[in-house]
A and B are shown apart, each in its own frame.
Chain A
Amino acid sequence: MSESGAPVTLAEPNDAEERIVGHSPRGQAGSRLLVSLSRAARSFLLYEPTNEAIRHFLEALRDAADAYFNVYGNLSLQVRPFELAQEGEVLYVDRDRERSLAFRLFRDGVRQLILAPGVNFHELLKFLEIISIRYTGVRSSEDDMVVLLWKAGFQFIEVEAVEGLVSDDDAETDAVARAHAGTFAGVPEDFDLPLPRLKDGGEVAWVDISPESLAPVVHEDSTAAVPDLCVRLIDELTLAITAPGRNIPLAEALPALRELRDFLLSEGTIHPLLQSVRLLRDLPVTDPVDNDARDTLVSSFVDATSLARLLRSVPRDSTGASAEVMELLGMLPGDHLRTLIAVLGMEKGEAARRAARSIIETYVPTRGAWMRDQMLTADADVASELLRAIAHASVEDGLAAADQVVHRPEMEIQFELVHLVGRAPISPGLARLAGVLAASPHDEIRMRALELIRNRAIQGAFRPLVEHLKRATIVGLDPAEAQMAGEAMAKADALGAMSQFREWCKPPGMFSVVLPQHVRLHYVAVSGLAILPGDDPERLITAVKGRADADLQRFIVNAMIRRRRLGRGVVP
């Protein structure tokens, strides 16, 4: 199920063959786990990692793992080309080479797999990650699946795997290989001289090295140190590119620089990115081709995905983007506003969206008109964020922007418009906006707009509101909304409201028919009259009460109680 509770419809991979097998309850539970694992691993071929479908597959995997390990303990599997079996019972079978989990494992050299009951979801996810990488067809010249499994250092997953090819007759093969192997003897005997200048007379002794002294050294070998190593290599390369004499041409270093960039962007840590951009931006090149290549490289240090990742790293309670992100964007050429808008379209986290918005705000003075145009066609959530950013930068610009989207019916936009009505200074534009929102198709928006008209006494909204109520009451009007509408009319324009209520409360002529909308208007009128000062409102209410049905009478009684509480209807 999705978060909203609605069933998720998934483009399941073709499941013709991959099905739950096993003849014992234990086997079937194991089978369920393996099928879930296979589907989750393949899901990355079909969906973006953040897709709701992936979540569904992960949930299914976790549930299947819980169901198995809580009851049955070890899952010990023999890996065959198209099957996974436990103690002779086949738990997984799929003969499709592209899809089969068994085939992937077998082909990558895994021969036995034991998942012990202590395996936690984190470890299972790491295992899934390795399989998923293989499903996506990635092949590294450094790591194969067996190396990845070895490096993962699993605690509760044991893998017996093929480690490599060994010849049955090493000696003979080696001899043949040696006879033909490339030999290289083109280096002079003293290739490694001169040595660094070292003095004589040093002394050596055994000295214990404390773990504290070793810790920083060992840290350098950890994955946490890799982004800094990337920066270091970029530094080395920029030095090498500009080294006098035998330097490395930029064109030769570019592929490596791009790889380093991609890694840093995928890591999404700002410091190394900033340092890298500084180094590359300051790279002195004279050749026009190199100049273009460097500028293109520098400007490619930000895209929507990487920027989203950077913004995602801001603290939850942050009010905007960090100074470093701003500095990074400031250093990079290109239209970051478009990128930021793309981020709004893909990023769901509130902190990251807030950070993106805060940067977008800085563009309002120069790109406000362009942003307003974008709001016409942008997705509702993006348009609403743009409106919010514009309005936060300048309320006047916000009202101008609101004009662009005031007739867009999406909830997100209307909510933002209402928010604007609540904080912008009262003006004809704001009143017009409030009037439109009072007629919104969304109940919550109408109620909030009416509340704002009432609380802020937005006079300019009075006339559009009356016109809306005349139309709305034909269809129907909730008593709560009628009350809010009446009070809004009374607060927005007391005189105009009195006159309007008087008209609506006029007794019907002898031959007139009392239509339902007339009755609904009575609800509005009574609510407004209840807060208007003087005797006239009360007389009118009493007159209406005399003609009212039981529901309206109860409504009028409550209105009168409110009126008494307000001190006989004096408008505060």
Chain B
Amino acid sequence: MSEVRDDLSVAQESLGHAIDQARAGEDKQLSQQVREHGEQVVRLLNGLQRLTRIHDPKNAAFDQPIRELSLSLKRLYDLLGAVRVICVEGQVYVNDIRIRLDEKAGSATELTEELARHGAGGLTFFEPLVEDAIRALTFLLSAPAPAANQRAHLMKALADNGLSTVAPTGFFKLKVSGDKEVHTGRSLQKSLLRASASASDAWAQIAAGRLPNPAPIRRVVAEIVDASAGLDVIADDTELPDEGASAYARHCRRVTALAVVLGRALGLHQASLADLGVAAMFHDAGYATRVDGAPPDASGHPLATLRVLLRQRGFHTAKLRRQLAAADHHRAWSRGASLYGRILHICDDYDTLTRARKDGAMASPAAALRRMATGAGTEYDPVIFQLFVNAVGRYPAGTFVRLDGGQVAVSISGGRDRDRWALPVVRVVQEADGTPCADPYEIDLAQSGGIVGEVDPASLTPTG
């Protein structure tokens, strides 16, 4: 380590610089308020439990702490939306922000033990609570728990007392990087489903005028990035059962999945992929806002999204790239746009062309790709677009094709590699004689068979 012996001043400067930058990235407003109110919520929950051991439920000693708890919950709710209090390893997290509790208060342990009696590891408050509701909650938590099914019992008791907006959660544990999950298509699909739910939740928060909170979105995107390594995320997304998410939320999820694929094809580092994914999830957030009661139109939504994202405080390069992408993801390549903006432009338009609509998609995936190819070099960055073409293949997932054996099949893979780019894995949905497949089967066309042309899915016999 002697090579830098005379370079300590450079090290000093660099360390000072890093600390300065970290300070600039701090979202003081959010974390401080969450900490303050979160700490108060935990202390008051504990304090109220202690009071139940001394006083009758009607005692006036409860009034003040109940009032304060109601106020703190309201403040947290205004800030964050649903308030999630989680106890794990002797610590308490409120919406992922760890709450500092001093040792003498013993608050974390107390709350953990109290909840554990009911088989719960945390509480989620989906709405603020009025004072009577808090009084009821206090006595439900202090009541004896049954020998079995404690959490179900508590949930029922809460519902019976009109407290269905309070949910006891299961036990949580900290996931350590050593505990690698085996990623399967199933876990990827699960993450993708969670993504549309998270998107929907995020838009609801934004519509309510709350700060955009990247933390839950980042977590679900990190799951997608992790789970999609080596898997075909586009195909998985195409295959996803529609769980009733809005078109808007599904669009955000699909653009995110496509962006992760494209970012990976570009060779972006894992951390950048996550930043890109978060940018994709937020790229249309402006649609959740209203001016004079109306959402912005297509031309106004980039600015509306930027305006939403400006509300998050603290400098961070991820936020910077996200804001730029929000502003320029519909800008033609020839007019200059940021990297994330150029990536999202391609993914966004591809999904717009291919996504399911009431009267059918505007184009099949393969046709959408060909149509977009006319914009490469003007509308789209030609290098990034070519990577996209390589990644999704000649017959992107979701394209219906007729095989050389006469069967009709749907593509369920991306481009894979140069040799297999036009030979996807397909799932046969109609036999050569026109009968629908009762039990669809897969063929890897790189192994056998070929494609004679595309098929309009509307022309197929319904499978019933």
Listed in ascending order, the chain A residues whose CB lies under 8 Å from chain B are 44, 48-50, 54-55, 58-59, 62, 65-66, 69, 97, 107, 109, 111-112, 120-122, 124-125, 128-129, 132-133, 136, 138-143, 146-147, 150-151, 153, 159-169, 172-174, 176-178, 180-196, 198-209, 213-214, 217-218, 220-221, 223, 226, 229-230, 232-233, 236-237, 240, 243, 245-248, 252-253, 255-256, 259-260, 262-263, 266
Contacts and interface: CB of A to CB of B under 8 A. Distances in A.
A118 to B, nearest CB: 10
A199 B175 CA distance: 49
A129 B15 contact: yes
Contacts of A165: 86, 88, 93, 96, 172-175
B452 interface: no
B175 A164 contact: yes
Contacts of B23: 136, 138
B58 interface: no
Nearest to A226: B317
Contact of B320 (A159, A161, A199, A226): A226
A190 B8 CA distance: 59
A139 B25 CA distance: 8
Contacts of A247: 303
B200 to A, nearest CB: 5
Measured as residues with beta carbon below 8 angstroms from the partner, the interface class of chain B is 35 or more
Given A163-B177, A246-B300, A180 B15 contact: no
A154 B369 CA distance: 40
Contacts of A150: 270-271
Interface of B: 1-5, 8-9, 11-27, 30-31, 81-82, 86, 88, 91, 93, 96-98, 103, 121, 124, 126, 165, 167, 169-178, 194, 197, 200-201, 203-205, 207-208, 213-215, 218-219, 222, 246-249, 251, 266-272, 284, 287-288, 290-291, 295-296, 298, 300-301, 303-304, 306-307, 310-321, 323-324, 327-328, 330, 332, 338-339, 348-349, 351-353, 357-358, 362, 369-376, 379, 381, 383-384, 386-387, 389-390, 394, 415, 418, 421-422
B275 to A, nearest CB: 8
A150 B298 CA distance: 38
Nearest to A172: B170
A206 B4 contact: no
B249 A203 contact: no
A196 B4 CA distance: 55
Contact of A184 (B93, B288, B314): B288
Q: Helix, strand, loop or mixed for chain A's interface?
A: mixed
B98 A174 contact: no
A252 B319 CA distance: 16
A189 B291 contact: no
A164 B219 contact: yes
Given A168-B171, A202-B371, A48 B16 contact: yes
Contact of A160 (B126, B176, B296): B176
27 contacts: A50-B9, A107-B98, A121-B4, A129-B15, A136-B22, A138-B26, A139-B26, A142-B218, A142-B318, A150-B270, A161-B177, A165-B96, A166-B172, A167-B171, A169-B170, A180-B126, A180-B165, A181-B200, A183-B200, A191-B287, A198-B371, A204-B369, A209-B383, A223-B317, A232-B338, A248-B306, A252-B307
B173 A166 contact: yes
Contacts of B304: 246
B375 to A, nearest CB: 5
A181 B8 CA distance: 52
A217 B262 CA distance: 12
A369 to B, nearest CB: 36
Given A125-B15, A141-B31, A246-B304, A189 B357 contact: yes
A184 B11 contact: no
B215 A182 contact: no
Among all A-B residue pairs, the 10 with the closest Cβ atoms = A49-B16, A182-B204, A202-B373, A184-B203, A180-B126, A162-B174, A202-B374, A141-B27, A259-B315, A220-B339
Contact of B332 (A48, A129, A196, A202): A196
A44 B321 contact: no
Given A44-B19, A142-B25, A248-B303, 14 more contacts: A133-B19, A138-B23, A141-B313, A143-B316, A166-B173, A166-B175, A186-B290, A189-B357, A192-B352, A198-B379, A229-B321, A236-B306, A246-B304, A256-B323
A106 to B, nearest CB: 9
Contacts of B178: 112, 160
A452 to B, nearest CB: 35
A140 B173 contact: no
A142, A163, A198, most chain B CB atoms within 10 A: A142
Contact of B307 (A162, A172, A248): A248
Contact of B246 (A54, A185, A246): A185
Given A140-B27, A202-B373, A255-B310, A263 B172 contact: no
Contacts of B205: 182
Given A133-B18, A183-B200, A232-B324, A218 B315 contact: no
